[in-house]
Amino acid sequence: MGKVLAVAALVLAVVCAPLLVALMVAGAAGSAAGNASSVCGGAVPATGTWRPPFVQAYTLSPRGIGWRYHPVFKRMNFHGGQDMSSQPGPGPIVAVATGRVVRAGWDTTGYGNVVDLQHAGGIQTRYAHLATIDPAIAAGATVAVGQQLGVEGSTGASTGNHLHFEVIADGERVDPIGFMRSHGAPLDGRAVGPSGAVAAGPREAVPSDESNAPLPPPGQPRRNSLHNPPQPIPEDILRLYIEAGWKYGIPWQLLAGIGMEETAHGRITGVSSAGARGVMQFMPATWASFGVDGDGDRRADINNKADSIHSAANYLDHTGARTGADGVRRALLAYNHADWYVNDVLYYAEAYGSGRLPAASARCPALGDRETPMSAS
């Protein structure tokens, strides 16, 4: 009887194991997708013709959307937009799309001179810290895309000349970088004249026929993914994958695939035998070139989770992951020059819900969730 039960148990294990693994993968993907929705919401639809808010070239500050230490208020505050500076500055600030002026004037909560525009589809944009506001820009006025709103400045709770730019969709602030990219106006630092003509710049735009291309499917050979199923993603790590994906135009699932392959999303700690460090396992020499500040503390720490994940997105961006399916494979080969590694990462990415290029839009905390006074530096 004991032998019969043992054989029966063995048969059940063999038959059910694939099903259990499939359920585990589906659960991980469902958890990731569900958490992604609860962390930052769904996609924002395109609503028309858009352009960047600068005419001349500009640089993006590490101070993007998210919780940041405010240099004026001296405390953590929700930073509701993207800071950027014209090169050279201060420069003119223009409307990113046709709209109606909702507000134009002085704000007492930290924005200084600010202009709010209402666009089609429930979208608003905000332009803060302006040195001056154009006399024609008054509440109720209609503005055209590219029309000058004012001049970049440092009014309100600010520490230097820059534009604080926000996008608000149906009452919720969204990441301006991802939103503008999805609307055909990537904030890539290139000069864009009043007519909308794009000047040559250091970074090529994603080809239009690849703008919604799926991630490539996993192939063979595979190695680690054959015996290490995808693990659930901790909520703090998932948030960082989504934030970094938005900022650099990389599907968060691809970052999750790397995180799973390298350290099971931070569960494996310490320095590798090759000397790689952090959640995304950077070699110090690579970190010296691609390490970035991901949490707004003005330091790029190889062992910091936010810095590591944002730096991985930065590296993938620079190695071509935004240029389509072939670019994704080339970027992963640059990350680790092994075909099995590429296929492992793509297998995990697919398990976490696949993904498209660029990553789907993610909503962030609603206006009612912000602290007062509002962080706008």
Greater model confidence, 263 or 212: 263
State in Å, rounded, how far the first CA of the chain is from the last one.
75
Report d(CA 234, CA 98) in Å as an integer.
41
Sign of dihedral through CA atoms 131, 136, 141, 147?
A: negative
Reported as a pLDDT band with limits 50, 70 and 90, residue 196 is low
Overall average pLDDT of the 163-175 stretch: 91
Q: Which residues contact 235 (CB under 8 A, 6 or more apart)?
A: 35, 39
Half-sphere exposure of 313 (CA within 13 A, CB side): 26
Q: Which CATH architecture has domain 224-352?
A: Orthogonal Bundle (1.10)
Report d(CA 81, CA 116) in Å as an integer.
13
DSSP labels for 128-152? EEESEE-TT--TT-EE-TT-EEEE-
58-183 in CATH: which number?
Answer: 2.70.70.10
Q: What is the DSSP letter of 354?
A: -
Residue 290 φ then ψ, to 5°: -125, -5
Q: Is the pLDDT assigned to residue 371 strictly greater than 60?
A: no
State how far the alpha carbon of 343 is from the alpha carbons of 21, 172, 216, 218, 337, in Å.
18, 37, 9, 5, 11
Reported as a pLDDT band with limits 50, 70 and 90, residue 360 is very low
Please check whether residue 66 is in contact with residue 296, taking contact to mean a CB–CB distance below 8 angstroms: yes
Please check whether residue 178 is in contact with residue 60, taking contact to mean a CB–CB distance below 8 angstroms: no
Q: Is the pLDDT assigned to residue 362 strictly greater than 60?
A: no
- Of 19-33, 205-219, 261-275, highest mean pLDDT: 261-275
Amino acid 224: pLDDT: 94
Reported as a pLDDT band with limits 50, 70 and 90, residue 63 is low
Domain boundary assignment for the chain: 58-183, 224-352
Q: Which residues contact 242 (CB under 8 A, 6 or more apart)?
A: 36, 39, 40, 252, 359, 362
Centre a 10 Å sphere on the Cβ of residue 216 and count the other Cβ atoms it contains: 18
Amino acid 53: pLDDT: 95
CA 179 to chain centre: 10
Reported as a pLDDT band with limits 50, 70 and 90, residue 5 is very low
Q: Is the pLDDT assigned to residue 240 strictly greater than 50?
A: yes
Residues 253/259/264/269 CA torsion (nearest 10 deg): -160
Report d(CA 214, CA 173) in Å as an integer.
27
Greater model confidence, 60 or 127: 127
Overall average pLDDT of the 124-140 stretch: 95
Amino acid 373: pLDDT: 29
Stated pTM of the model: 0.46
- The mean predicted confidence, pLDDT, of the chain is 77
Overall average pLDDT of the 297-308 stretch: 92
User: Could you tell me what percent of the chain has a pLDDT over 90?
Assistant: 44
Centre a 10 Å sphere on the Cβ of residue 377 and count the other Cβ atoms it contains: 25
Length of the chain: 377
Q: Is the pLDDT assigned to residue 16 strictly greater than 50?
A: no
Centre a 10 Å sphere on the Cβ of residue 264 and count the other Cβ atoms it contains: 17
Residue 76 φ then ψ, to 5°: -70, 135
Three-class SS state of 336: coil
CA 237 to chain centre: 13
